[in-house]
Structure 1
């Protein structure tokens, strides 16, 4: 077995051999199962128990609309007035991190796709900034008085 593979297997083996290890701590698939079973929403208004006057409304709206990573319960509620389990927190964090990674990957792809156009635009902007700088340096004074003969 290669060193890299051993490093991947070692934490799992140590966790299985740990005395008194809690099965819930070792079951990482539970988080993924929970996240898959949760109902993703596309607008915070889909939650029947979240109102614009709630203190966390704007934060939820931002997460839902920007990243689409907030899930509710099957009955259309968010249940923001109760404590969150560790599984729910892990599922929410995992969904948001996955979505942010997708957005980052998409931005990288778009930057690579439009690399030449971005370089052309950068050159044009640099040229315009140089011309503006030159015009500002040689700008005619508005307080100068001219006398004609």
Structure 2
């Protein structure tokens, strides 16, 4: 995707799904560098493009829905962290098995893992990873709403 295509897609996302767009823009206030925000923006643009290519009429994902999904995602991660390694693996597998957007989840998790392995880790990276996972969950919830 060249810069003009990214710009056009970002403008569409801002109009159609402003909470998704805002989830990237707020990262700077969390201490995330511009370079790392660029990774997140590219990832979310791909997610948004996937939404568009379905041809479905997507409901607008509200800031409240995003916050709820972020809270749920954090709770799931914390729950898994408190378990033994074996139980944690079972919980993760159950989460994947029950996820309504398995392919999108796999793509985002894979891209995020690759990104995380090639960067110099910082505490603010947590915000990037949580946002990416929350966006997938918001899209999955919206997909269920579209029928």
TM score, norm. by length of structure 2:
0.30
- The structure whose Rg is larger is 1
Larger proportion of helix: 2
Structure with larger RCO (C-alpha < 8 A, sep 6+) = 2
